[in-house]
Structure 1
């Protein structure tokens, strides 16, 4: 069959791209890949970071955050069982909404995935540097930690190690990771047991009580302090689905089970940390929750809590914790290095990058995609801000891509009802929009400063789309595409510099634009680009652009709402309460969801999969599983 794809390839180029990947991963390997991706730097630094924002109620942040991630994951569980594909999260949007939406989601996911290995490497340096000051990082006046020259070199060394471990095949990676993940589970388990030895209940009821930092900060902490970031590894099962022996059964189960295990572990660690808090040892006044992140405990919080207890057994165990501070983030780093490579691979399959991104080495690894993941990842080390500052950015960009899971369920059921679904989501008309709203609220609950930077980088993908994909696909000629992209990029640079809302951690300095001017100008630039691209494109391009408008509506509607909502706004007295703002965000999200469902259509790629399934009882990749799985 020669169904034409958006990338200009045939079905063999799109559907059979996964044939070169080796299907060697069983259920344990898939589960441990997700669990290994989840347990990284989040548990080492997130307990203190979340407590600094939400106080003792950070315990609820971990519980609610885990539940939100499960809401998101159950939709992906159906999709991954139905269409197990490597690089799945960047491939589903193109199947359901076409190339323009697929590009925006793929670009956003790429921004989040490509930076994680570097941040995990930085977490190692930060934690060990918290015990051995001067070893790789330094604290500047506003409390932000930056890598020194030595720290950057060490970080690059970790990145090269992650690269080498991925290069020599999925069997090596999965076997290494399976045994290593046992360590990553056992050490945090032992840590909360040790913390309970030093447990005191005072911090739970004194110094303002359980809700000392207010109830709204429970939700803000989820997006800004590493809570959701710590759960994001659940997607590893989806990204490695094309290399699973039995993806229809194993991927959905591993996805959900990994989140449940992590939720139990993280919640107990938070309880133990708050119970073991020693305010004097941290150099803080009693009840100074907000001061925790900038305190002496900021570099190595769990180690510091065990040391402050002064109990012999805890002092001995704390040294093991330092070893794990190198091990756990490293374990997540090498998994995300592989995830970044498979994201590049998925973008290549979609036609958003050159076909070279799909090229495999003798071990079945997309090595060019892996090399790009290494090089771009290292850019984040030269120099990178602290883990505490970047974690919100990664959380928001990733959550923004997760809105597609809830949309995919009804759309694929409408247009591909006969594709096999080993896991079928019950009450999907309820759970699919719930998953969409959960993901969109995680974006909304980011601090405004974070959201401004997320939007700036997401919209930077627009001119790249015009210059590469739109021309390659033949939507418009090269000359108009180059001119349109250049005009938008110039506007983007001018708005970013003059507006004063990008690359800042505080409100704009005096003399910068008002938010109203900044928002209106940025929105106008985005709308102008989409409208001009539509006018210049052929019928195929126009159709794809029209089916993406719900996505831009969601982004542009959330931006002013967040600026004027308490707890997430940079204003000292924003006019909208947190509860009211969140309620409006839900309404906006529901409008975007049902608009997005209505915008889904039978794309060429999805039609090819449906036709292949009808002709042979499964897609070419699925029918080849028995051969590839030896």
Structure 2
């Protein structure tokens, strides 16, 4: 459903206010900082000093998918990301599967990142000899009652997002600048303690360790497609969305590799075992200045809030599009005439994410997010191939280079990383997809626009007989 038809249907229309800078900042905001700030301590022991190679491998996989996203974003410039692309090419059923996976990508990753913010708050307090009560520092799985910092992070992002897209974009741009600054600052600090000996042996866990770590750190690249959820709010979506996706991927991958090399150079890879908020700990040990650590930790929390903000943004826009198509309740599709945002959908999503973040630990959320995202990315590659075959002469503002090799490699890389994830992740994914299948048959298929059209056609047929 286009923006205009959505408005005519009574859902309300979003306001076009984003240029290429804002779109790029949305993608960078949803991506940059997540893995480096949150899960580095989990990934380094798996890959060893070759963690930077794992980031390169994950980045190349994401880039292969990014160019497919760029082509589809230029052809189908609407909100909804890969859900909309699948809908336009492969139909409602496949689109539902993709949309259900995107809930894993956006909503669950927002919860996972918020848990990471909680870790940074706790680590900062410990440096100053303080700590949160155990009951407020983590959820029931980790022996606490509720992760209060994670809860407050999601609430703050939700309230900001509900105020308006333009206000959120301005705040996000500022926060992205802050996170780039602190990651560059960290690299400078870490390189003052650089020891080339920390890179030997490069592959203590072998190539299998690098592959497994790449599957883990792929979580770090989740969100680069966030610009593709802003099609209805972009001033010139056909031109600017492809550009913003490619620019954000190149920038994010470069920064990740730089920080990973700096971190390993500063500390032996075995030091990272069990380290939470590893970058804060390195800054603390290298500088020995509590005030520097405090500023860095606070800036890190701000950086993480920007990820939560933009991933929540993406999720609400995807659900808004699915609501317009009737696959989820129409409450998600209603746009406020005052703020020009889906306020009700934003509050519903924010509440669900806040509850999840406050109760479930990071590791379980991160891997579940990765598998859903990889599946959705693979579907975008399929969509590119499908449209090239069925609509070869359709106008395209961006074309995937080296077609069909690039989308095929993107699909293969996504499947490769999926199969490197643990069995528990696959079990969770299987359960998630089974629940999605039940929801689709029980609600989506009965209430969808296509279903309504089919029923109307059937009634008209009966009348003529």
2:223 aligned partner: 233
1:247 partnered with 2:240? no
1:30 partnered with 2:36? no
1:187 aligned partner: 182
1:170 partnered with 2:160? no
1:223 partnered with 2:223? no
Structure 1: how far apart are the matches of 2:313 and 2:273? 31
Question: Contact 2:371 / 2:418 at 8 angstroms: preserved in 1?
Answer: yes
Question: Contact 1:409 / 1:428 at 8 angstroms: preserved in 2?
Answer: no
* 3-state SS of 2:206 partner: coil
Q: CA deviation at 1:354?
A: 2.5
1:146 aligned partner: 142
* 3-state SS of 2:142 partner: strand
Change in Cα spacing, 1:190 to 1:101, as seen in structure 2 (3 Å) is same
Question: Contact 2:151 / 2:355 at 8 angstroms: preserved in 1?
Answer: no
Question: Contact 2:96 / 2:440 at 8 angstroms: preserved in 1?
Answer: yes
2:420 aligned partner: 445
Change in Cα spacing, 1:147 to 1:373, as seen in structure 2 (3 Å) is farther
Question: Contact 2:29 / 2:306 at 8 angstroms: preserved in 1?
Answer: yes
1:465 aligned partner: 440
Q: CA deviation at 1:65?
A: 1.1
1:260 aligned partner: 250
Q: CA deviation at 1:101?
A: 1.4
1:302 partnered with 2:279? yes
1:375 aligned partner: 351
Bigger radius of gyration, 1 or 2? 1
1:354 aligned partner: 329
Of structures 1 and 2, the one with the larger relative CO (CA 8 A, separation 6+) is 2
2:461 aligned partner: none
Change in Cα spacing, 1:256 to 1:103, as seen in structure 2 (3 Å) is same
Superposed CA deviations along residues 332-359 of structure 1, whole A, max 9, x for unmatched, are: 1111121121121121123211333211
Q: CA deviation at 1:465?
A: 1.3
1:391 partnered with 2:366? yes
Superposed CA deviations along residues 267-297 of structure 1, whole A, max 9, x for unmatched, are: 111111111116xxxxxxxx7x3x7332xxx
1:271 aligned partner: 261
Structure 2: how far apart are the matches of 1:90 and 1:349? 12
What aligned pairs does 1:4-83 form with structure 2 within 5 A after superposition?
Answer: 12-13=5-6, 20-83=13-76
Structure 2: how far apart are the matches of 1:409 and 1:136? 51
Structure 2: how far apart are the matches of 1:470 and 1:71? 32
Change in Cα spacing, 1:336 to 1:300, as seen in structure 2 (3 Å) is same
1:428 aligned partner: 403
Question: Contact 1:14 / 1:349 at 8 angstroms: preserved in 2?
Answer: no
Structure 2: how far apart are the matches of 1:102 and 1:272? 41
Q: CA deviation at 1:12?
A: 2.9
1:213 partnered with 2:210? no
Change in Cα spacing, 1:17 to 1:119, as seen in structure 2 (3 Å) is farther
Question: Contact 2:34 / 2:113 at 8 angstroms: preserved in 1?
Answer: yes
Structure 2: how far apart are the matches of 1:54 and 1:88? 32
2:273 aligned partner: 293
* 3-state SS of 2:203 partner: coil
Structure 1: how far apart are the matches of 2:300 and 2:24? 22
Q: CA deviation at 1:418?
A: 4.5
2:97 aligned partner: 104
Which residue of 132, 136, 153 maps to 1:135?
Answer: 132
Deviates more, 1:236-245 or 1:387-396: 387-396
Question: Contact 1:77 / 1:252 at 8 angstroms: preserved in 2?
Answer: yes
Q: CA deviation at 1:368?
A: 2.0
Structure 2: how far apart are the matches of 1:434 and 1:307? 42
Q: CA deviation at 1:14?
A: 9.5
Question: Contact 2:24 / 2:245 at 8 angstroms: preserved in 1?
Answer: yes
Structure 2: how far apart are the matches of 1:90 and 1:137? 40
Stretches of structure 2 that go unaligned for 5 or more consecutive residues are: 458-465
Question: Contact 1:80 / 1:248 at 8 angstroms: preserved in 2?
Answer: yes
The two structures have a TM-score, normalised by structure 2, of 0.89
1:155 aligned partner: 150
2:463 aligned partner: none
Taking only aligned residues, the RMSD between alpha carbons, in angstroms, comes to: 3.0
Q: CA deviation at 1:60?
A: 0.3
Q: CA deviation at 1:472?
A: 3.2
Change in Cα spacing, 1:382 to 1:292, as seen in structure 2 (3 Å) is same
Equivalences, count: 449
Question: Contact 1:114 / 1:373 at 8 angstroms: preserved in 2?
Answer: yes
Structure 2: how far apart are the matches of 1:167 and 1:446? 35
Q: CA deviation at 1:252?
A: 0.7
Which residue of 88, 91, 116 maps to 2:81?
Answer: 88
Question: Contact 2:90 / 2:383 at 8 angstroms: preserved in 1?
Answer: no
Question: Contact 1:147 / 1:384 at 8 angstroms: preserved in 2?
Answer: no
Structure 2: how far apart are the matches of 1:299 and 1:53? 15
Question: Contact 2:378 / 2:415 at 8 angstroms: preserved in 1?
Answer: yes
Change in Cα spacing, 1:137 to 1:338, as seen in structure 2 (3 Å) is farther
Change in Cα spacing, 1:167 to 1:247, as seen in structure 2 (3 Å) is same
